[in-house]
Structure 1
Amino acid sequence: MTRSVSRRSVCSAGLALLAVAPAALSGAAHAQRGAAPITVVVPYTAGSAPDLFARLLVEHMRQLSGQTIIVENRVGASGNLGTLSVARAAPDGTTLLVTANTIVMNPSLFKSLQYDPVKSFEPVAALVNANFALTVNAGLGVATLAEFVAKAKAAPTLINYGSPGIGTPHHLCMELFRRKADIALQHVPYRGLAPAVADLAGGHISAMFMQINAATELARDGRVRVLALMGSARNPVAPSVATFAEQGITDVDVDNWWGMFAPAGTPAEVVKQLNARVNEVLRLPEVQKAMETQGQAAMGGPPERLKEIVDTDRVRWAEVIKAANIALE
């Protein structure tokens, strides 16, 4: 598989989101021209899925409010550098964080983290969830989840799986599934998602978790098969792909989610205003359509919804990380 194919498979979701033109909104009722500019920090590289969604969100927020809002990528240390910069920012609503669920995973992965996902931030809004799917190379010779589990149990050293790196959501989701299915798999960490996807399609690794839209795109030419979907319900992008629970493996109904946070101490009224603006964008039909076509779903709701997700997932992933003895420096 060529590098260009792997990039197309991985990045199609985000590129489609950027193709959505902002709504032609007057913004008169919401105008905040003259207000202090807002910086939305994304702790991932430009062009990553969270980054591209953040830019779509910010563009519509600008249209609604007339306020200056920019996206800034502060990359490094598995997302910790950008996240820490927001934790240390003034709690006045002018510096915000859009991040993935790594914010609740990293405290269990790094021994000396300088921020806390609960104490260092105010949750603003849950943004998006994006279902992960178990995807295998067709050459493995399995067509169902049951066959995959049976093959892994029969030959514990046979099946390996890839991820974009140690401690990434893709890695931890496989560890969660592996424990629930009581199977042994060999981990092959890569430096980034694209080379892992390329090696899966090329048959150099047997399996991996990836977002459902990328998985179904790769499956079109028959080189990979999509066996099961994480989450509590099937995804409209691939309605024929059953969830893990439907196939007899429970307690893996987790999603890859993104959320918006403000520094701890940000006034409740500021958080409330930001939450209302974000929810307004998430309700826009063109934004919802863009996400749905990529297998993603708008979340939204009050800040308390994001807080509940953080509290639940922090405990869940801490248990997985401890059981798998995973640690990063």
Structure 2
Amino acid sequence: MHPSHGITTVDTGFQRPHFDAAYLIVEQGRAAFVDCGTQHSVPAMLAALAAQGLEPDAVDWLMLTHVHLDHAGGAGALMRELPNARLVVHPRGAPHMLDPARLIAGATVVYGEEEMTRSYGEVMATPAERVRVVGDGEVIELAGRPLVCVDTPGHARHHLCIWDERSRGWFAGDTFGVSYRELDVGGAAFVIPTTTPVQFEPQPLKASIATLLARHPESIYLTHYGRVGDAARLGADLITQIDAMVAIARSCDGETARHRMLVERLTALFLGHARMHGIPHSEGEILAVLEMDIELNARGLAVWLDRGRVGEH
């Protein structure tokens, strides 16, 4: 059994079980959350706290890896329940937490109003005096436990990863891909990159993965989903797949059925990797887990192509 180091995985309940994770870190009776899901996730976050015998006033920090709504949409609502907490966020993400109107508008274009309400609930602002903007390398102290915030662009330009020396672990947000426990084989994780809209950039993402690997982490705490080990193997696999995804995107550019082709070729890529990993499930069972990510990855690659960045590797 891997030691917990005071870290609890919280299932935010977004979309399906074991899909979207936040984390609770407890140190000497004080607590920090890393990410928080949506407004609908607030009861789960408070229940995780109560399960550790703590009251909401024990939380000093709510730290966001990035401000995509599945991880940060509930920040304003949760902060209302945490009287002593401050919100920690990347400089590029902070304006969206102070005034989420643009985030809401952008997501509504993608998902529609009905789905926005169903999936995300209300996205509330956080008062400026409760927001702590952190630069690259800045340290947040939790009862003397240092949590180092590192700028990690590639998935989004407002992305932080958080290094916890105590666990020798990274809270990696979406930088280190997605890995679902249903697809583990003999305890070994299967991972794919996430290139969701709208700020995927392959070269920065590969550099950020290298930044994470440079500390030789024992644990990576993913938002999708949970803790994984074996970071060197997974990191190498992610970089191989990012290069393959960029090649696929370029091969589909200019085609009238570009989105369909992207989905088909990404599906083939990930199924091939799943087979190499030895996943015994049927194609249908594997795709039931990865379908949403494949769709969003295809959209994100299309946005990248349309930004005219096809010269990037």
TM more than 0.5: no
Structure with more relative contact order (C-alpha pairs < 8 Å, separation 6 or more): 1
Could you tell me the TM-score, scaled by structure 1's length?
Answer: 0.25
Could you tell me the TM-score, scaled by structure 2's length?
Answer: 0.26
Query: Bigger radius of gyration, 1 or 2?
Result: 1
